[in-house]
Chain A
Amino acid sequence: RKQKDNDTASLSTPSSPDALPAAAASPRAPPARASRRVASPGPATARAAPMGRGGARDGAAAAPPWHSLPDEVLEHAFSFLPAAADRGAAAAVCHGWLGAERRSRRRLAVANCYAAAPRDAVDRFPSVRAAEVKGKPHFADFGLVPPAWGAEAAPWVAAAADGWPLLEELSFKRMVVTDECLEMIASSFRNFQVLRLVSCEGFSTAGLAAITEGCRNLRELDLQENYIEDCSSHWLSYFPESFTSLETLNFSCLEGEVNFAVLERLVSRCRNLKTLKLNNAIPLDKVASLLRKAPQLVELGTGKFSAEYHSDLFAKLEAAFAGCKSLRRLSGAWDAVPDYLPAFYCVCEGLTSLNLSYATVRGPELIKFISRCKNLQQLWVMDLIEDHGLAVVAGSCSKLQELRVFPSDPFGAGQVLLTERGLVDVSASCPMLESVLYFCGQMTNEALITIAKNRPNFTCFRLCILEPRTPDYVTRESLDAGFSAIVESCKGLRRLSVSGLLTDLVFKSIGANGNCLEMLSIAFAGNSDLGLHYILSGCKTLKKLEIRDCPFGNKPLLANAAKLETMRSLWMSSCSLTLGACRQLAEKMPRLTVEIMNDPGRTCPVESLPDDSPVETLYVYRTIAGPRSDTPDYVQIV
């Protein structure tokens, strides 16, 4: 698939203003390479070898056709390249292709909202119909980024309203979205169809009302894990009675009540509704009546799903689920009502995805339910499933591709429900398993080595041993050997999170073997600067590195400064960095923004501090937009 653009096209130098932005905006595009100047195009000099094949070198002196292809033809050709990485590669070929590609690009993903200025992005890609922008660093999910850090969506919405009037889809992740943003979205894009907000905050149900009222062609309203202030405005009621285009409605993260009658009417008239994810305010019997109105659902989030057992409610649910022949994805905060689980045995066989990560239901009924889901590809569950439950999963769900096991009692005293056994069993019996997130209390090298041998096809392996620096509980050794086995065996590993007791040696292994690794998370690991150096000098394709509480200092950071420009971002908190090194880094690498964070209580300016001042949190990212101007008082850009 990769076109080897060897000798057939002239290439622009990387210093041209066009080349770098294209690389920055499409996150997986390779960085602009060193100039490979070839003779300028012309019939006499250019060779007519067709791409990818070695034919027609004999005497074909005619101009290669692609130098004079009209833009429309190029744009049509590019429309067959939906993947951003491919489009980025095409754009880097020459000025002509750059222009044709950028004018015709329909989807834009901005993985770091501060990597480029919104206006520049809109100007560069004027035909975008779908945009996705991500803001805060990943560790913000765990409370490591204080409030008011930044990542405001408003500048992006304003720029889009100006330059993309035909915008149809907007997606924000970990950003601050205000009611004003939502109002602007509702009034600026006449064909707006898809709004997806993931882990965002700053808006209320009043903003949602603007969306439901104003977006006449809305197909998807997908609210995932946002913090939404409840203004008791009946946002759902603002959908006009004539509105029928909804295909996805996800309000599972909403805390407040919704008017059920309005919801029921909405569900009844939207015959194309495929995804419906309810919040915890919808009681069980109402779920049943909604299902009867929408038997065509493909994805259902049941909300709280807890009630005392009543046989007539059971019968209602059973009948309702029996009608849902297309149901493939099921989720919900099932609270200890195992008696109701048999009511939807009938959908088990069709399920490909089951998300019980908010569910406290446990016991044999839960396991029996999961064991009937023979076609499950994705299972998210609490550790209440325990090892023996996972053994059943291993035996029943042979098509499992993704497993996530969350801790039910993250701060507890380590009442061990789940051990390494569960993961070993699943890895042994599920040949298609490629993505794992596993929280547990104990691990051994032997288990990890076994898992690595069973599953060389892992693309994502995230293991979190709850107690920091926990060694192999049998041998008392570090878990270096285990994690090394994982990276050595899983050649296609793209994402890795390590935990437990680890020395610098594991990072030597990761650096040497993580040739596809794009994201690495490290906590409470390593002995010295060497650990970080191994990572930064290896891991050729690393994009995101997040580190906390490791004894990594200034030297490896400065020694590998250039590496940071090939990455999207680096986060280091509670390590051994000092201000002087950050200053040096910022000076050496003008296309990086070097942000340091102090305790919100402290506001003394960074200029006045000496070089040896410790830096609690460092966040570095590449950007073509220069330093941002919206930092709160506890963030300083060096």
Chain B
Amino acid sequence: MELELGLAPPNDAGSCGKRRSAEAFGVKKPTLPLFLRDDDDDGDHGNGEDDTGDARDCEISMGNKRKRLVGWPPVKSAHRPRSNSHVKVKMEGVPIGRKVDLSRHASYHQLHHTLRLMFPSTSHHGDPYAVTYEDVDGDWVLVGDVPWEDFVRSAKRLKILLV
């Protein structure tokens, strides 16, 4: 297993032949993700939708998937692989729950924005809050730790807690 920390993320998905683009991504963000890349994982790419499995196993085979960019490739959400991405959202202290369609958001920022619109009491009081989600294992996890697309697939419902 090769630990790689550099200015540009490795952008050759090792399983796609020997495509070694020397051209850097040219990512502008100052901090970059740390990639774990397993070069022996060639046979493991399979169908992008299949390895929802465990979030932990996903991290290792992440190098085999195309890096997730917002809005790329340019396909409408209707054309993306369909998943039931409506999740219930409940906020602590608010009796009525809402539903949000995760597939219509492209990032955590957008989700937070929508949640603020749905539960205006958060921004009104200015109280800090935490958004948590129930994942496929039934655990309640803080939102934001895993790549967005993985979150969309594994989140079953959301709960907003007042901190």
Residues of A within 8 A of B65 (CB): 411-413
- A466 and chain B: residue at smallest CB distance: B73
Given A143-B105, A144-B70, A501-B23, does the pair A410, B75 have CB atoms closer than 8 Å? yes
CB distance from A616 to the nearest CB of B (A): 9
Given A142-B72, A225-B78, does the pair A468, B112 have CB atoms closer than 8 Å? no
Residues of A within 8 A of B68 (CB): 411
Given A139-B71, A146-B110, A469-B25, does the pair A413, B117 have CB atoms closer than 8 Å? no
Q: Is A415 an interface residue, CB under 8 A from the partner?
A: yes
Given A413-B64, A574-B28, does the pair A225, B21 have CB atoms closer than 8 Å? no
Q: Give the distance in Å from the alpha carbon of A253 to the alpha carbon of B82 in the complex.
A: 13
Q: Is A141 an interface residue, CB under 8 A from the partner?
A: yes
Residues of B within 8 A of A227 (CB): 101, 104
- Report yes or no: A470 in contact with B113, Cβ–Cβ below 8 A: no
Q: Give the distance in Å from the alpha carbon of A407 to the alpha carbon of B66 in the complex.
A: 13
CB distance from B81 to the nearest CB of A (A): 7
Residue among A147, A411, A471, A548 making CB contact with B21, cutoff 8 Å = A471
- Report yes or no: B73 in contact with A439, Cβ–Cβ below 8 A: yes
Residue among A144, A408, A601 making CB contact with B106, cutoff 8 Å = A144
Which chain B residues in 39-60 approach chain A with CB under 8 Å?
45-49
Interface of A is mostly: loop
Q: Mark A407-446, 1 if CB is under 8 A from B, else 0.
A: 1111111111000000000000000000000010100000
Which chain B residues in 66-88 approach chain A with CB under 8 Å?
66, 68-81
- Report yes or no: A468 in contact with B117, Cβ–Cβ below 8 A: no
- Report yes or no: A412 in contact with B25, Cβ–Cβ below 8 A: no
Q: Give the distance in Å from the alpha carbon of A310 to the alpha carbon of B48 in the complex.
A: 32
- Report yes or no: A409 in contact with B72, Cβ–Cβ below 8 A: no
- Report yes or no: B79 in contact with A358, Cβ–Cβ below 8 A: yes
CB distance from A147 to the nearest CB of B (A): 5
Q: Give the distance in Å from the alpha carbon of A473 to the alpha carbon of B12 in the complex.
A: 13
- Report yes or no: B69 in contact with A468, Cβ–Cβ below 8 A: yes
CB distance from B122 to the nearest CB of A (A): 13
- Report yes or no: A148 in contact with B117, Cβ–Cβ below 8 A: yes
- Report yes or no: A411 in contact with B66, Cβ–Cβ below 8 A: yes
Residue among B11, B23, B66, B72 making CB contact with A413, cutoff 8 Å = B66
Q: Is B121 an interface residue, CB under 8 A from the partner?
A: no
Q: How many residues of A contact B (CB 8 A)?
A: 48
Q: How big is chain B's contact interface, by range?
A: 35 or more
Residues of B within 8 A of A147 (CB): 105, 110, 113-114, 117
- Report yes or no: B15 in contact with A414, Cβ–Cβ below 8 A: yes
Given A147-B113, A468-B25, does the pair A142, B48 have CB atoms closer than 8 Å? no
Residues of A within 8 A of B149 (CB): 411
Given A468-B69, A523-B72, A600-B113, does the pair A413, B25 have CB atoms closer than 8 Å? no
- Report yes or no: A409 in contact with B81, Cβ–Cβ below 8 A: yes
- Report yes or no: A141 in contact with B16, Cβ–Cβ below 8 A: no
Q: Give the distance in Å from the alpha carbon of A551 to the alpha carbon of B26 in the complex.
A: 9
Q: Is B13 an interface residue, CB under 8 A from the partner?
A: yes
Given A409-B48, A409-B81, A473-B19, does the pair A414, B66 have CB atoms closer than 8 Å? yes
Q: Is B125 an interface residue, CB under 8 A from the partner?
A: no
Q: Give the distance in Å from the alpha carbon of A139 to the alpha carbon of B74 in the complex.
A: 8
CB distance from B74 to the nearest CB of A (A): 5
Q: Is B109 an interface residue, CB under 8 A from the partner?
A: yes
- A410 and chain B: residue at smallest CB distance: B73
CB distance from B30 to the nearest CB of A (A): 11
Residues of B within 8 A of A411 (CB): 48, 65-66, 68, 149
Given A412-B65, A413-B48, A414-B13, does the pair A225, B75 have CB atoms closer than 8 Å? no
- Report yes or no: B21 in contact with A600, Cβ–Cβ below 8 A: no
Which chain A residues in 34-49 approach chain B with CB under 8 Å?
none
Q: Mark B94-110, 1 if CB is under 8 A from A, else 0.
A: 00000001001111011
CB distance from B137 to the nearest CB of A (A): 22
Q: Is A357 an interface residue, CB under 8 A from the partner?
A: yes
CB distance from A468 to the nearest CB of B (A): 7
Residues of A within 8 A of B25 (CB): 468-469
Residues of A within 8 A of B26 (CB): 551
Q: Give the distance in Å from the alpha carbon of A372 to the alpha carbon of B47 in the complex.
A: 31
Q: Give the distance in Å from the alpha carbon of A521 to the alpha carbon of B71 in the complex.
A: 13
- Report yes or no: A358 in contact with B109, Cβ–Cβ below 8 A: no
CB distance from B124 to the nearest CB of A (A): 14
Q: Mark A371-415, 1 if CB is under 8 A from B, else 0.
A: 000000000000000000000000000000000001111111111
Q: Is A464 an interface residue, CB under 8 A from the partner?
A: yes
- A415 and chain B: residue at smallest CB distance: B45
Q: A147, A199, A439: which has the most chain B beta carbons within 10 Å?
A: A147
- Report yes or no: A410 in contact with B15, Cβ–Cβ below 8 A: no
Residues of A within 8 A of B48 (CB): 409, 411-413
Q: Give the distance in Å from the alpha carbon of A407 to the alpha carbon of B69 in the complex.
A: 16
- Report yes or no: A413 in contact with B45, Cβ–Cβ below 8 A: yes
- Report yes or no: B109 in contact with A548, Cβ–Cβ below 8 A: no
- Report yes or no: A468 in contact with B104, Cβ–Cβ below 8 A: no
Residues of A within 8 A of B105 (CB): 143, 147
Q: Give the distance in Å from the alpha carbon of A551 to the alpha carbon of B28 in the complex.
A: 10
- A382 and chain B: residue at smallest CB distance: B79
- B106 and chain A: residue at smallest CB distance: A143
Q: Give the distance in Å from the alpha carbon of A473 to the alpha carbon of B17 in the complex.
A: 11
Residues of B participating in the A interface, judged by any CB pair closer than 8 Å: 11, 13, 15-16, 19, 21, 23, 25-26, 28, 45-49, 64-66, 68-81, 101, 104-107, 109-110, 112-114, 117, 149
Q: A408-B81, A413-B15 are in contact. List 20 more A-B contacts (CB 8 A).
A: A141-B74, A141-B76, A142-B74, A142-B75, A143-B110, A199-B76, A225-B76, A225-B78, A357-B79, A407-B73, A413-B46, A413-B65, A439-B75, A466-B66, A466-B73, A468-B69, A470-B19, A473-B19, A501-B21, A614-B28
A-B contact pairs, 28 of them (CB 8 A): A141-B74, A142-B74, A142-B106, A146-B110, A147-B110, A148-B113, A199-B76, A357-B79, A358-B78, A406-B75, A406-B79, A410-B75, A410-B79, A412-B48, A413-B45, A413-B48, A414-B13, A415-B45, A439-B73, A466-B66, A469-B11, A470-B19, A497-B74, A501-B21, A521-B74, A523-B72, A600-B109, A600-B110
